[in-house]
A and B are shown apart, each in its own frame.
Chain A
């Protein structure tokens, strides 16, 4: 995945179409987009495989574009299978049931192919690939995508995607032969997962591979530090160029000029005024939120506080026990931010309020 490969698409002749009326299976160019959670799920499955198995397989789910040339893999699940030297067994019933469960949760996804966690392609792969491409259960008439992820410990994790075309040596071996055509693939990270990925990536340099979730302030701090570091590098380069220690570059100079011209040119008073307004807005909302929280807390406490003194209707007005004592039915701060049941906190609401201790029917 460090370098991007170039792909040459080979269109192979097709086997005769099984049913004349249906569309023939196509081997038109396909490009595959992988989403990170599918990849993570495959790696997780690889690490959970039973001790005696070299590789494990599973099904890929995803969406396909209108004309079938763009396939996006969004989800996957594992399938138990056993593989010996001579034969391979895949639990088809499991595949059907899992597929049905997954489609209930995500009705817009379809079966797009299958994956294996080792990079090799052998006859078993061909057999499984033909199964996935067939009519009925498989992805017919679209080609099934086969994804191999090499999970050898210590080496790079390499992903390759293929589609297949039938290739016949003899009619008896047609079922387990096929030609795997590599197709371009790309791992695309969408906007929403960026923050999650950042957290996950933060753990990669630690011993125990753990990362505590950071608060907003901490992420802000680390983002600012990174920007500062980048700025340092650029300014070091620029001063080197000025001292004629490094080669100047028109491209970099143009880019820097373009970027720096994006800084807004505003008058100083405007800046002050806008800044003050904005800060006031933010502080106002913060103050309000905390005030509301305190008021509601107070209201709850007053409502459920134990009734201490019976005679003083002021305090009893605040207590308001649950057995219908007559005191304590103030207006309750209707129509405002009050919430205080005793109505004593900030009772400058409606004019009819009879002041603390008065009763209002």
Chain B
């Protein structure tokens, strides 16, 4: 199996084992509300990245650190911290002895309300994706969205244009104009399928799922009906959380997050304008100085003195650096993420609300 052949097949799809889904969910819900990060292992088969196992990264114990921001930052930066790279390597070595796939296929993180697009995320993914032949994805699990009914798991990779730009490290206006990089192009999303093993499928068939389809016996009294364990303790019962109709918490949180993004955006814009102004001032000073120099030289030419050099201004005046536009781009991508979430929410909520209204208003048909 030639490795160069594998490199050319682009990743189309991500296949996640049920085990990985459960482990990610458990780790994320344990670490809530701070971030949870961990590593994924698996195999790449014909353009489909199969993820077969995962393990969490150790983080600083939250009680010992004094600043919560510090803690979440260290958790978010965990995948590329040196100590964790050693941890990961040792873990993979040990797992290989029990026949678990030993190829690192990326990392996962948990988030709340879609708030995951940050410099840390990009750096982590870049760290994994920069190896040649590296097939790495970021799996993002959204804890708050999953609790409202449907599992929210997404797979992202950095696009190749973005990788090239990030490697150079410069995000000035000119480079962006040249490469035509838009903020939508930073991440590419890959579709996910969940895959079960045979043993797991037989286990799933064993567990009671829905209320039995056959005829049930009539219960003796109300108490036995409400407390019948066969009816109340169904592990795979359909999840009716999605039929909940509370909209205010979601809307409030979304608005808060949008306001934060707007503030960030304005801060970045102000930075850029400050840069523009100081650049203009420097330019003005330079032209002034050049004019003076010219006048001096003319005066000297009259008195037959050697003219002074005209390009000393490059050493005397230092042009300010243009601030990087990467933060603005990430912020814009984050806003787009929020907007998409709100759209999805609106779609399902308006359906539910119309249904409830029609039900509550007696006799109305539309």
Contact = CB atoms under 8 A, between A and B. Distances in A.
A190 interface: yes
Given A201-B236, A297-B332, A303-B173, A192 B199 contact: no
A290 B347 CA distance: 14
A219 B22 contact: no
B350 interface: yes
A278 B247 contact: yes
Given A210-B195, A282-B247, A289-B254, A189 B328 contact: no
B199 A247 contact: no
A197 B235 contact: yes
B206 A1 contact: yes
Contact of A192 (B26, B192, B209): B26
A260 interface: no
A105 B345 contact: no
Given A197-B235, A300-B182, A282 B350 contact: yes
A199 B21 contact: yes
A60 interface: no
Contacts of A204: 196, 201, 204-205
B265 A251 contact: no
Interface in A202-236: 203-204, 208-220, 222-224, 226-227, 230
Nearest to B14: A213
B191 interface: yes
Contacts of A219: 149-150, 239, 242
B194 interface: yes
Interface string B130-164: 00000000000001001111110100000000000
B177 A98 contact: no
Interface in A90-136: 91, 94, 97-98, 101, 104-107
A37 B240 contact: no
B243 A227 contact: yes
A344 interface: no
A185 interface: no
Contact of A337 (B195, B198, B229, B262): B262
B314 interface: no
B353 A94 contact: no
A279 B347 CA distance: 11
Interface in A46-72: 46-50, 56, 58
Band of interface residues on B: 35 or more
Interface stretch (B3-11, B93-101, B301-309): B93-101
Contacts of B248: 281
Contact of B269 (A49, A101, A247, A339): A339
Interface string B45-60: 0000000110111110
Contact of A4 (B173, B218, B229): B229
A118 B162 CA distance: 50
Contacts of A282: 247, 251, 345-346, 349-350, 353
A209 B151 contact: no
B316 interface: no
A195 B235 contact: no
A140 B273 CA distance: 67
Interface in B258-277: 258, 261-262, 265-266, 269-270, 272-273, 276-277
A217 B347 contact: yes
A312 interface: no
Interface-centre pick from B61, B100, B196, B211 (highest chain A CB count, 10 A): B196
Contacts of A306: 177
A43 B200 contact: yes
A290 B343 CA distance: 9
B176 interface: yes
Interface string B102-130: 00000000000000000000000000000
Interface in A161-205: 187, 189-201, 203-204
Contacts of A289: 254, 258, 335, 338-339, 342-343
A252 B225 contact: yes
Interface stretch (A8-16, A22-30, A267-275, A350-358): A267-275
Contact of B347 (A105, A216, A296, A301): A216
B192 A193 contact: no
A157 B353 contact: no
The 9 closest A-B pairs by CB, nearest first: A322-B173, A192-B29, A219-B150, A37-B22, A324-B279, A104-B58, A78-B98, A289-B339, A204-B204
Interface of B: 15, 17-19, 21-23, 25-26, 28-29, 38, 52-53, 55-59, 61, 87, 90-91, 94, 97-100, 143, 146-151, 153, 172-174, 176-177, 182-183, 191-211, 218-222, 224-226, 229, 235-236, 238-243, 247-248, 251, 254-255, 258, 261-262, 265-266, 269-270, 272-273, 276-277, 279-280, 283, 322, 325, 328-329, 331-332, 335-336, 338-339, 342-353, 356-357, 360-362
Given A224-B243, A252-B219, 18 more contacts: A37-B22, A43-B197, A105-B56, A107-B61, A192-B143, A195-B146, A196-B146, A199-B194, A201-B209, A204-B204, A209-B197, A251-B219, A285-B251, A285-B255, A289-B335, A290-B343, A293-B339, A300-B328
